[in-house]
Every structure is written in C-alpha cells, then in structure tokens.
Amino acid sequence: MSRKEFRDLASPERAHEVVDSLDLDPGTETVPLDDARGRVLAERVDAAQDVPGFDRASVDGYAVRAEDTFGADEADPARLELVGRVDAGERPEASVGSGECIEISTGAVVPEGADAVVMVERTDTDGEDVLVRTSLAPGDRIMFAGADIAAGERALGPGTELTAREIGLLSALGVDGVPVRGTPTVGIVSTGDELVRPGEPLDSAAGEIHDVNSYTIAAGVEEAGGDPRLYPHAGDDMAEMERVLREAADDCDLVLSSGSTSASAVDVIYRVIEERGDLLLHGVAVKPGKPMLVGTLGGSAYVGLPGYPVSALTIFRTFVAPAIRRAAGLPEPRTATVEGKMAVEERYAEGRHRFMPAGLVEDGDGDTLVYPVDKGSGATTSLVEADGVVEVPADTEYLERGETVAVQLFSPDVRAPELFGVGEDDPALSRLLDEIRRPRYLGLGSRQGLRRLRDGVPDVAVTCAPGDPGVDAERLGAWTREWGLVVPAGNPEDVSGLADLVDRELRFVNRTTDSGLRTSLGNAVADLADERGVERHALVDAIDGFERAVRAHESPARRVRDGTADAGLGLRATADALDMGFVPVGEEAVRVLANPDRVGKPGVERLRELLEDDGAVDSLPGYSKE
Amino acid sequence: MSRKEFRDLASPERAHEVVDSLDLDPGTETVPLDDARGRVLAERVDAAQDVPGFDRASVDGYAVRAEDTFGADEADPARLELVGRVDAGERPEASVGSGECIEISTGAVVPEGADAVVMVERTDTDGEDVLVRTSLAPGDRIMFAGADIAAGERALGPGTELTAREIGLLSALGVDGVPVRGTPTVGIVSTGDELVRPGEPLDSAAGEIHDVNSYTIAAGVEEAGGDPRLYPHAGDDMAEMERVLREAADDCDLVLSSGSTSASAVDVIYRVIEERGDLLLHGVAVKPGKPMLVGTLGGSAYVGLPGYPVSALTIFRTFVAPAIRRAAGLPEPRTATVEGKMAVEERYAEGRHRFMPAGLVEDGDGDTLVYPVDKGSGATTSLVEADGVVEVPADTEYLERGETVAVQLFSPDVRAPELFGVGEDDPALSRLLDEIRRPRYLGLGSRQGLRRLRDGVPDVAVTCAPGDPGVDAERLGAWTREWGLVVPAGNPEDVSGLADLVDRELRFVNRTTDSGLRTSLGNAVADLADERGVERHALVDAIDGFERAVRAHESPARRVRDGTADAGLGLRATADALDMGFVPVGEEAVRVLANPDRVGKPGVERLRELLEDDGAVDSLPGYSKE
C-alpha cells in the first residue's frame, strides 16, 4: 500500500464512530475477592446461600419461648429456668423447653425450641432463674436465616462496579472468585528515533529527547481502566520496530503509537497495517490531532496519536479513553468535565474544530475562570500548565470574556490551583511555593506577570519592575536579591566586575529580555556608559554574548559550569546553590502583587502569611526581606 | 488496666481530633516512573536539564542563517546552497555557512551556524539549490534549548498528585526514580470467633458467618490511598489473636479491628493496648458507632470500629479514611458528597448525633432525592442499598420532606441507580434487570412496593395484587407465572395438589405474608375450604408448616431440597431452575407499575422496552407475557 491520499479529513463524530467500532473486548476473568475492587462484574451474582445462615440473636440476652412471657411486665416478670449459654460461633448445646431459657450473645445461633430473644436489660437473675420483665412476640430480636439475603435472590447485576460496599456484600455471600470483565491490554509502541527512556542518559547534541508520550499515555490508559504495556523503543532499526508492532498486535487488545517525526517509522506502520489489518481512518479535522490514524492489526485495534504531548493526551482522552473504559465496563468518570467562565476573549482565525488547551483559576468568589494555554508546539510543560481542553466547534470565531465553557479535564481529579502566579523566576519564591498546596506559577518575567495581572487571570504577579506597576494591585510582600556575574568556582579568570566584560575577551551569557535581571544589567551598563561618557550600545557591542540570552535563572550559570562561557548573569543565591564563584554587581527589588479581588483566596492569604513569617526568603544568600 | 469507665462519650468533633492526632506518616520512598501514577510527590522536583536539550526545529524545512533571507519574498526568493540533511535523533554532520542551508526534520538539532528554520511549504528546490520565498528573523521556527523548561526551574512542588500529565513532565525531565510519599500500611485484624474467610465453607449450625468487615474495610483503605493487610483470623484462640495484634502493630502504620461480639476478644485488645500503648478515646456519641475505640499500639495507631458492616464502613469513612488520605498526601475526593432533597419525612426519637444510611434516586427532572435506608442491625445488604450517610445533628427532631441534605457517599464514584424498583421477588424480573445499567431493586413484596410507590420514592413497583393499585401509576408491562408446590425431583411422595397438604402428613414451607405467592396460596386454600364446606382456618391448621414462612422465592424449594420439608410454595420456574419436581396449583399476574413522573427516566424507558421486546420473560417455564 502506498500511503493513501485522503482528500477529506474525517469529522470528529466520524472519528468517534470509527474508534467505537473497534473491538477491544478483553473477555472475562475470575479474580480473588481482595483483587476485585475497581473491577466490573461480568455476570449477575445471586446469593448461593442464606445470609445469615441460621436464626441469629440480634442482642445479648436470653433465648426464650415467646409464649412463656405472655403477660409479663416490670411488676410481674416471667420466671424461667436458665439451662445453658451460647456464644457467637458456637453450636447450641441445649434446646429451650417450656419454662426454660438460654443465655445468648449477639450473633449466636438461636437454640432449638426458642422463638424469641429478650435483651439482657429487660431481665434480672434470681439464683438459677431469669426474670423476664417484658412480653415478647415470636421472632422478637431474631434475624431469621435468609433475612438479610436469601439463597436464590439477586445480589449484584452484571456491569456493577465493585467498590468497598459491593466487596462487603460479596464477602457476606462467601464469594471468593469474582467473575469480572477483563482489563483491556493496551500496547504502547514508541516510534521516534530520537526517543530515550527516562532515567537513561541523553545525547542532546545528537538530538535525543526523553520519551514523554509513552509514559503519559500509559498513565492515561491506567486512569481509563486499561492495562498499559510499554514496548521497548525500537530506535532507528525499522526491522526491529516492525517486529515490535507485530508482537504488540499479537499480545494486546489495542496498540497505540504516537506520531513520529521520522518518515520511515510512519512507513513501517503503514506496511504492518497493510499486511495485518485495515486502515479505517486517516486524519481528523480537529486541531490538534489532524494526523490521527485508526485501523486494525490482525485481531487487535490500532490508533496512531499525534506527536506533541498535549495533542497526544487530548486525542487519547477524547477518542480512545472512552473506548477503553467501555471495554473495561467502566462508566465515564463523573468529574471529567467542569464548567467555567472565560477569563479573557479568545479569537480563532482558522475554521477548524479545535480542542483548546485551557487552565483553570478560581476568582475571589470561588467561581471557576478558564483561560487558554498556548505554549506553542511540543512544549511538555503545557501538560501541567493546562488542566484540560475546551472543545470549540469549527464555526466559532471567538469565545467572549465571561462566556461559560466546559473544560474536559485531563484527569478526573484535576482541580484549579490554590494559587496562580505569573512573573519572575526566583529561587526564594520557589521555596515559598513549596509551602502551598497545588500552586501554579509561570516564570515568564515581570512584564508578562503585570500584563496578565491586568487581564485578570492570575492571582498574583511577581515583578522586578520598579515604580507604578500600572495595574490596581495589593502588595503582599517584597524582598531584594543580590545579582551579578556567576563565574567558575574560584573565579579563575579573576573577573572583578561589569567593566571586565566590556574590556576583556570574556564569553558572557545573558538572560532573555523578559527577566528582571536583564533589565538590571541594562541599567548597570547604561551607568557604566555614563561614567565613561560613551554610548550604551558601544559597551553592549563590546560584550561578547550580550545577545546570547537564555531563559531561566540558573541557565547562564549552567552554561558557565559547562565551560561554554566565562561569566553569566545571575544571582548570588544561584552561584551558591551550584557551588560557583560570584562577582556582585547590584541589588534589585522583587515585589509580590495580588489582584485585589483575590486577596481573600486561601492560597493568596497563605502566600501573604509566608511572606510575613517564613524564613525561606531571608535564609537565601544575597536575599533580604523588605 | 481494667476496662476504663468512660462516663461521657466523646463528641464527633473530639473523635476527629483524636484520630487526627495519630501519627500514620509512612515516610517517603522512591518509585519507578511507571509506578508513580496516583502517588504524591514527597519533595519539589526541579529540572535537572534543559528541555529540549538543544535548539530544536519546530517544522520540517531548512535550517538557514536568517540574514541570508532578509528581503526575500514570493517573487524574489533567496537562493541557498543545500549542504546536508539532518533528521530527528541525528547529530548534524555539517554546519550552515553564509549562503548555505541544511534540510531539517521537525525535532532535529538545528546545526551550527543556522539561527532560523524555514517551513518546507515556503520553499522550492532548483537543482542543488533551495529557493526561500520568505524573510526570516533569527529564532524563527526554533524551540531553543530550555525553552520548554530550563535546568534549575521549578517543575513540580511537593504534595503534587501524579496523574498522566505530571508523569509526562517527569518523563520529559528524564526522572525515573520519583520521590513520593509512602503509602500508609493498614493492618486489619479480624476478631470474631464466628468469622470465616469468604470462599471457605461455613458451618451455619455452629453460628459461623463470613467475614464481611475485613474485606469491606480493606477495600475502603485502598480507596483512601492506603495499603491494606489482612491478618488471618485468630478464631477463638486468644493467645493467637494477641500475637496477631502485636505483629500487626509492629508492621503497620495503623491497625484496625472491627467490633467483636466476643467479650474475650475485646479483653485481648484492651490488654495489648495497655501493654503497648494508650487508649485515647472509648466511645463516641454517634449512631452508629458508639463503641469506637482509638489508641496507640507501640509506634502504630489503633482504631476499633463497630461490628455491623454499615456502621463499620460509616465510622471508617467519617473518621479514619481522611486520616489515611492525609498521611498518603491525597486530597479529599471532590465527589465524596452530593446534595439531594429528602424524598420522605424522617423523625428522630433519640437525641444522638447520627449518620443516617441513605439511598439516592433521581426524580423525573433529574434532581436527586434522598431516602433513609434502615434494614435493621447487621444487614450486609444495607451496604448496597444505601449510597452513603446523611449526618444528622443530635438536636434534629426531623428532616422534612423536600429538605435539602448532604449525603456523604460510601465511595466517591457512587451514583444514583438508573432504575429503582420495589416489589415482588421474581426470576423473570431479575433477568430484565440484568439488561439495565445500575438498577436497584428491593424484593420486599407487592404491598411494600405499592406503599413506597405511593410515597414517591421508587420509580416502579412490581406487584401481584389484583385490581386497583391504590396509587396513580402507569402500567409498563405484565406477565403471568405458574405457581404451585415444589417437591423433590421425581415427586417421591406423589403429591398431587393442595389437598394433599391438608389431608396427608406432609411437611410444608410457606412464603412470608409480604409475597404475592402467599396471597395466591391463601386464596386457593379459601377456595378449597368453600368446596369442602369448612372454615378456612380448619384447613390452615391442618397444614403442617403453613406458618413456617421464609422470605425469598427460592427459599421454600431449597428447604425441600435440604430435606427439611416435603413441599414448598414456589414457581414452576424455580422448580425447573433447581431441578426439582413441581405440582401446579394456579397462575398469578405480575404487573410492573411506574410512577407517572418518572416514565421519562432512561432506566424506566429501558424497562418498558425490555418488557415489550425482550424474550427473557416468555422463555421462563410457566411464564407468559400479558
């Protein structure tokens, strides 16, 4: 088969139909009771025996013949002869004759001859006799055999999910081997030449990256009630990859792969589908997810997922997870979708059905706001910065701010973060966040922090920008941090300050323009230019690497440590953490500003407390609280 | 220590405090990434490397020097010499000089010298040359090293629950050993002399019953994120039980037992607590749950739960499960509580804080109704007939019909049944219920079915009562069933009809008065009395066992099969299912009646369809659809 040309992409509805037509049925199996939780009954379970299996005393007291107590009351008790005693788990040794009684414990077998039990509280003893101070009717305080559930009665129906309580009923019925729906086995075949298992070393210069999708999708398969099997990565050996695909198809109910950037891997997939099955669908008119493949591989089903992690998880969750759940007999989780209001307007240029990655944040009233997350192609951090996707039909031009939308969560138990912040990347802040349950923080720099705070999305912004922040905000706290040049341990080049970068042949690494440190460096360079009476750009041009900008607070220092630079822009705290040398240049102030509507949120209150009381900020080298 | 006398029972708040003060902390451990789903991070994970680890092409196209394309457009392309090719997972073999380009795949390393990538769609080839028909800026279509997440950046905080998406981010970071909170180990010690493991045979005459609580609570421990360990039942050997308790205390973070009816078992527990720990609380002022014990056993915590299954699960869920979740680092499940309106009024005589077992049912509008479930002490079927409990403070005298209450679900994924019926116990009905997802059916007989339908609780009643049902109801369907006397296979006593029960010395077993069959039998006996010109009670008195009444449809037949009776009231279908003989006496009509407000409910519609179309009714011997 040459690659089929599909002129039209399938509609999302058609893709659902095709995936739903696949046979993932794992059959049934019998599991021991203590492994049955979370499984689904394959067939009806009727009681095979009466529960309880005998007439059982419901209280501690005396087993009697009810007719012996007729007319008895407090003043005029019935006097019965005590002829024995029976405890729970004992066979009664005596029977109860007329005028007799037997002492009995809760749960014990009611002896032959007795037809009622009197509570000990309604009796007295008098020598060998028992005085019963109440009248009893036959059956009083007895749970008859089969009264709980009788042999032949319907106990649990097919399709019942087994939670603690159903396990309890099965125990009562004495069922040990439980007939349950099998767990669909899902083979996950890693197809990218560049993929390396987490834990194994990476050769970045050769373009290797860790395999993200296999592990993400495996976890998604488990969440959907399937049994994931990771098939070892085939590298660039196409014959080996073909063998692995065939093996997975033989062993599993469903085989998944996620989009490879390698054309040869795609060709292998086509070849195996051609030989062993049918290609049922190629391409779906959704964004992301256009490259989805659906087919069969012999007796197994096959779905090819897109390559980017958020796309792969979205397509998996939308089309594949429901099919796995159905095969396992599990219902859709109740909490898989939440509603919220759009925090910002979002416009769409392209008329394609889309799954917009979205984050959740609670406003000051506890209502859920939804904002789009778009970190661009292939960012794995989007996996944790988005909470789910909003399905947007192809004819939607925009979602209005305040419009109610439904977010399909990536996992049923996803919840809005307790604190959502945007701004400077800072090690002290990181420590404070450790003390907050479920924070979300995007280290996008001061400008983005303030811009987003102005848009009303995050709870707080963390900014180095001095002066008026240009947004109505409440200051939760602030600190200063010492910055300068991070150099190798021992400062082998004997760097003494900023002037050395200008005057000597030193390779420098800067931060990107969104960072507060970059602004502080720019100001220091301007001061030096003033001092020397030259133009600022002359100094900038003289610094080898002023435009060599990296994104995060440790990144320049790490370049220096790797030997690719002699000095990097950074904090004293960073130099200290990485056991490197440090040449101080200045101090800058960092402020934490809150949206005034959100100051009552527990996460924001907690951050304020931490800023006031916690030693985390002051204990870092070069830091002091304002 | 002699048993301490606690004059006052602890308040529920105090019980929470005491349980919360127990130390269940399981410490931390490191697990492989593919076992990390559902666990909770024990410490912050910062990125140890840049992701991606290299400057990465975001599209298929050509790696170029941006300055070579300045000014290029559709009409006036830049012509570049193609000097090589690099795929994902490959080390670039060439670098890009001025006027040169290298073909590059998505995900591949951007070669030395290049600072932008142009999409293949914006280019043409001309012999060995590539024509670039657009201007590029430095950085276009490149994801720079660390742009996704940079070494040193905060990736995930302590306390993060690991779902598919966090697993994805950890994969990207190459983390294989994940530091997680340990799982609290919870020992469950079975203490009743009368308890037998499910699967093992039961000696009912000696009062044995299957161990329900150990398995129910073990499943509850798993649901709460703990690791349950069942300690083998100690029987009535108190020295052995003491040894098991000590072993469990040594091995586990928490030891649970559930109320034993045996005083000697309680004494052993007291003795072990005295020697090894402290009794912190004895008795809580709640119903059920008064006998709760809380204490320590050496380094382990101990909670004694009540003995009845619903009580044990309620106390476990209310006081113990939150402590296990906290120790495991897991949040309270979001769906653990649902709101609904009381379907009936419920009054309380006794001023005790109580957890009222309650069932859920949806009304015709999809609103949730709540009704009390009280099957009396010790019924294990309450576990599945109730969906959770409503907490009712001690000073509440009644809950009004229509009042909104919160139901604490027994498991987070509990949902209202799709169909709720009450009435006759019938094998054909049982088959129909198998075709409905999540039905709930209480075989309480015709009278209870109609009474509850009148109260507005169930969706349908199944009744044998002829004539006007005395409630506004819609008939969904009906059938007749043949009834008579079930006798041993081959009818060894040669029973030919009802008259034989009166005239001969045959041991008979009847059904309880709530069953339709009992009414039909009563009518047949009255007819026979008329025929003979005698009083009905004279015939009744002549039948040995007319008052020997058992509850479920197979129960009399099973007594006959056991040899404890010669004939039992039953259906031809039952005799057939149990391979027994049958002597026909008559036919009776069974009607399925629905609450008119509920006929639009999917479960009710499904039952109507099944009654119309399904062969399940007609295929049973002695049955015909009306």
Residue range B201-243, pLDDT digits in tens: 999 999 999 999 999 999 999 999 999 999 976 666 778 888 8
Q: Is the pLDDT of residue B17 over 90?
A: yes
The pLDDT of A16-33, averaged and rounded, is 94
Is the pLDDT at B293 greater than 70? The verdict is yes
Q: Which residues of chain B neighbour A51 with C-beta distances below 8 Å?
A: 209-210, 380-381
Q: How confident is the model at residue A264 (pLDDT cuts 50, 70, 90)?
A: low
Judged by CB atoms closer than 8 Å, whether chains meet at B173 and A375 is answered as no
Token pair in block for residue B624: 């015909």
Mean pLDDT of A222-227: 94
Statement: residue B299 has pLDDT above 70? yes
Query: What is the distance between the alpha carbons of residues A390 and A407, in angstroms, rounded to a whole number?
Result: 5
Q: Which residue of A has its CA nearest to B261?
A: A106
| Degrees, nearest 5: CA angle B602-B604-B609 | 90
3-state secondary structure (DSSP) of residue B216: helix
How far apart, in whole angstroms, are the C-alpha atoms of residue B301 and residue A36? Answer: 27
Task: Tell whether the model's pLDDT for residue A171 goes beyond 60.
Answer: yes
A219 vs B164: CB contact, 8 Å cut-off?
yes
Given A52, A175, A213, which is nearest B209 (Cβ)? Answer: A52
Give A518-570 as a DSSP string.
HHHHHHHHHHHHHHHTS-HHHHHHHSTTTT-EESSTTHHHHHHHHTS-SEEEE
Structural tokens at position B455: 């109260």
* Contacting residues of B for A381, CB less than 8 Å apart: 51, 148-149, 169, 172
Closest residue of A to B54, CA-based? A204
Q: Measured between alpha carbons, how far is B311 from B373 in angstroms, rounded to an integer?
A: 13
Inform me whether the C-beta atom of residue A413 falls under 8 Å from chain B C-beta atoms.
Answer: yes
CB contact under 8 A, A384 and B166: yes
* B402 in A contact zone (CB under 8 Å): no
Once rounded to an integer, what is the mean pLDDT over residues B114-124? 95
A9-30 average pLDDT score? 92
Q: Where residue A9 falls among pLDDT bands split at 50, 70, 90?
A: confident
pLDDT of residue B375: 67
Nearest to A46 by CA among A166, A158, A152: A152
Q: From the CA of B476, how many Å to the nearest CA of chain A?
A: 21
Per the CB < 8 Å rule, is A223 touching B164? yes
Radius of gyration of the CA atoms of chain B, in A: 36
A451 interfacial to chain B (CB closer than 8 Å): no
- Residue A49's nearest CA partner among A165, A175, A225 is A175
pLDDT in tens, B442-461: 999 999 999 999 999 999 99
Q: Please determine, for residue A117, whether its predicted confidence score (pLDDT) is greater than 70.
A: yes
**What backbone phi and psi angles, to 5 degrees, belong to B351?**
-85, 60
Instruction: Show the tokens assigned to B253.
Output: 């973070």
| Of A215, A251, A220, A219, the residue nearest A233 (C-alpha) | A215
CB of B49 less than 8 A from some CB of A: yes
Residues in chain B: 626
> Cβ of A313 and B441 within 8 Å?
no
Tally of CB atoms within 10 A around B263: 10
The predicted pLDDT at position B222 comes to 95
How far off is chain A from B499, nearest CA to CA, in Å? 28
What does the alpha-carbon distance between residue B558 and residue B563 come to, in Å, rounded to a whole number? 9
Instruction: Test A410 with B164 for CB contact under 8 angstroms.
Output: yes
The answer to whether A239 and A246 have CB atoms below 8 angstroms apart is no
Spatial contact of A569 and A381, defined as CB atoms under 8 Å apart: no
Does B4 or A534 have the greater pLDDT score? A534
Nearest CA in chain A to B110: A207
Residues 264-293 of B with CB under 8 A from A: none
CB contact under 8 A, B157 and A436: yes
pLDDT for position B551: 86
Over the stretch A44-70, which tens digit does the pLDDT of each residue have? 999 999 999 999 999 999 999 999 999
Confidence of residue A6 (pLDDT cuts 50, 70, 90): very low
Q: Which two tokens stand for residue A209?
A: 């990256």
In this complex, do A375 and B148 lie within 8 Å of one another by their Cβ atoms?
yes
Mean pLDDT along residues A110-137: 95
Q: How far is B155 from chain A (nearest CA, A)?
A: 8
Out of B176, B335, B377, closest to residue A58 by CB: B377
Mean pLDDT for the stretch of residues A526-552: 93
Q: Answer yes or no: is pLDDT of B377 > 80.
A: no
- Say yes or no for a CB contact (<8 Å) between A153 and B554: yes
Which residues on A lie below 8 Å from B445 (Cβ)? none
Contact (CB<8Å) A217/B161: no
Which residues are CB-contacts of B533 (< 8 A; sequence separation ≥ 6)? none
Q: Inform me whether the C-beta atom of residue B246 falls under 8 Å from chain A C-beta atoms.
A: no
Interface test with A, best of B49, B54, B112, B154 (most A CBs within 10 A): B154
Q: If contacts are CB pairs under 8 Å, which of residues 489-508 in chain B contact chain A?
A: none
8 Å CB contact of A198 and B175: yes
Q: Count other Cβ atoms within 10 Å, centred on residue B496.
A: 11
Q: Which two tokens stand for residue A345?
A: 């307007």
User: How far is residue B290's CA from residue B272's CA, in Å, rounded to a whole number?
Assistant: 21
Residue B316, Cβ neighbours under 10 Å: how many? 26
For the cut 70, the answer to whether the pLDDT of residue A582 exceeds it is yes
Q: Inspect the interface and report whether the beta carbons of B197 and A208 lie closer than 8 Å.
A: no
A193/B163 touch (CB, cutoff 8 Å), yes or no:
no
B1: pLDDT strictly greater than 60: no
Contact assessment for residue B470 and residue B483, using Cβ atoms and an 8 Å cutoff? no
Summarize the confidence of residues B541-551 as an average pLDDT: 91
Which of A46, A380, A443 has the CB atom closest to B172's CB atom? Answer: A380
Residues 6 or more apart in contact with residue A67 via CB below 8 angstroms: A138
pLDDT for A2:
38
Contact A439 B157 (CB under 8 A): yes
Q: Which residue of A has its CA nearest to B37?
A: A219
Q: Do B309 and A168 touch (CB under 8 A)?
A: yes
Tell me the mean pLDDT in the region B380-409: 91
pLDDT of residue A375: 67
- Tell whether A585 is within 8 A of chain B (Cβ): no
Angle at CA B283, nearest 5°, toward B279 and B288? 140
3-state class (DSSP) for residue B196: strand
Q: By C-alpha distance, which of B74, B70, B94, B67 is closest to B82?
A: B94
Distance from the Cα of B115 to chain A's closest Cα (Å) equals: 12
Residue B263 is predicted with a pLDDT of 61
**How far is Cα B564 from Cα A112, in angstroms, rounded to an integer?**
14
Residue of chain B minimizing CA distance to A43: B434
Q: Is the peptide bond before A596 cis (omega within 30 degrees of 0)?
A: no
Judged by CB atoms within 8 Å, which residues 290-329 of A form the interface with B? 309, 313
Q: Which of B152, B199, B217 sits opposite A558 (nearest CB)?
A: B152
pLDDT given at position B6: 46
Each residue's pLDDT tens digit, B148-162: 999 999 999 999 999
Which residues of chain B have a CB within 8 Å of the CB of A150?
550-552, 554-555
Query: Looking at the complex, does the CB of residue B625 fall below 8 Å from at least one CB of chain A?
Result: no
Whether A219 sits inside 8 A of B167 (CB atoms) is: yes
Q: Is B210 helix (H, G, I), strand (E, B) or coil?
A: strand
Residue B400 has pLDDT above 80, yes or no: yes
Cβ-contact B415, B359 below 8 angstroms: no
The verdict on A410 touching B (C-beta cutoff 8 Å) is yes
ipTM: 0.89
Residues of chain B numbered 329-388 and touching chain A (CB < 8 Å): 331, 333-335, 375-381, 383-384
Secondary structure class of A508 (helix, strand, coil)? strand
Measured CA distances, A263 to A170, A260, B87 (Å)? 53, 7, 10
Q: Is the predicted pLDDT of residue B426 greater than 90, yes or no?
A: yes
Alpha-carbon distances, residue A119 vs A54, A285, B314 (angstroms): 19, 73, 25
